[in-house]
Amino acid sequence: MSDATDADGLTVGQVSARLGVTVRALHHWDEIGLARPSLRTAAGYRLYTADDLERLHRIVVYREIGLGLDKIRVVLDDSTADVPGALRTQRTQVAERIARLQQLGAGLDRMIEAHERGLLLTVEQQAAIFGPQWDPDGPAQARRRYGDTTQWRQYAERAASRGPEEWQAVADAMAGLDRALGEAMDAGVAPGSPEANRLVERHREVFASYFPLTRQMQVCLGRMYEADPGFAAHYDGVRAGLATWFRRLVDADARAHGIDPDTATWQ
């Protein structure tokens, strides 16, 4: 069948192309009586008149602003309907949806920035929270080293939702753990003892502020605390020999859970 002209009426395909709606949607609107074509060809094909097209235009507009088909039918067909009122209600809902999307956009911006920077704090805020010895380039160095790992992604997801107060709580928890470790070492707490194992568990819980830490990963971290000059200096600054002592605590706890510290891997 050849295409009809506007004067003769438009086919479903022509209307679909002109209004940017699917043929399936036009058939559905026809079936539910929302927008039925006024004409038929001798062969029974649907043809939409200019009036039909005007109604369809209005349906498309109302659908675009979020009105449901039942509400659209009322707006179009009920002469007593409060159309301005219905549109004002929809306008309020649209405004609320826009606000939610703006919040989502802001959250996505923070997530992107956290993946790229690690810490969403100014240099001054970092110094105030983590102390004057803090290296503000540390997060950038960590990203260059670990940016393609699962743990960096987990860290970034946590960092995206944190401001100065939340980071202060993390810093306080880490400082409290350092003090507890130093006091336990002074008290002669032995690796494998209940108190030592509680400290190892506390370390894993506190460290979860950055990313989840398995026992195997904790063993690897204990090795790094002892071997890495920066970490060793930090812990030995709390107590001389603390890095090595803490590694022994972690290794003993790992053995108690069936993990060989000599073969433990980052998993």
**Which of the residue ranges 132-141, 150-159, 231-240, 245-254 has the most confident prediction, judged by mean pLDDT?**
245-254
pLDDT exceeds 90 at position 42: no
Q: Are 59 and 35 in contact (CB under 8 A)?
A: yes
pLDDT tens figures, 56-87 = 999 999 998 888 999 999 989 988 888 888 88
pLDDT tens figures, 137-186 = 888 888 888 888 999 999 999 999 999 999 999 999 999 999 999 999 99
Write the CB contacts of 38 (distance below 8 Å, at least 6 apart in sequence): 9, 47, 48, 49, 51, 52
Angle (CA) 205-243-175 rounded to 5° is 45
The Cα–Cα gap between 81 and 94 comes to 20
pLDDT exceeds 70 at position 7: no
What is the residue-averaged pLDDT of the chain?
91
pLDDT exceeds 50 at position 4: no
pTM: 0.67
Per cent of the chain over pLDDT 90 is 71
Q: What's CA 100's distance to the chain center, in Å?
A: 14
pLDDT value at residue 242: 96
pLDDT tens figures, 172-204 = 999 999 999 999 999 999 999 999 999 999 999
Backbone angle region of 9, left / alpha / beta, with phi > 0 → left and psi within -120 to 50 → alpha: left
List C-alpha distances in Å: 210 to 9, 112, 127, 155, 227: 65, 17, 19, 5, 21
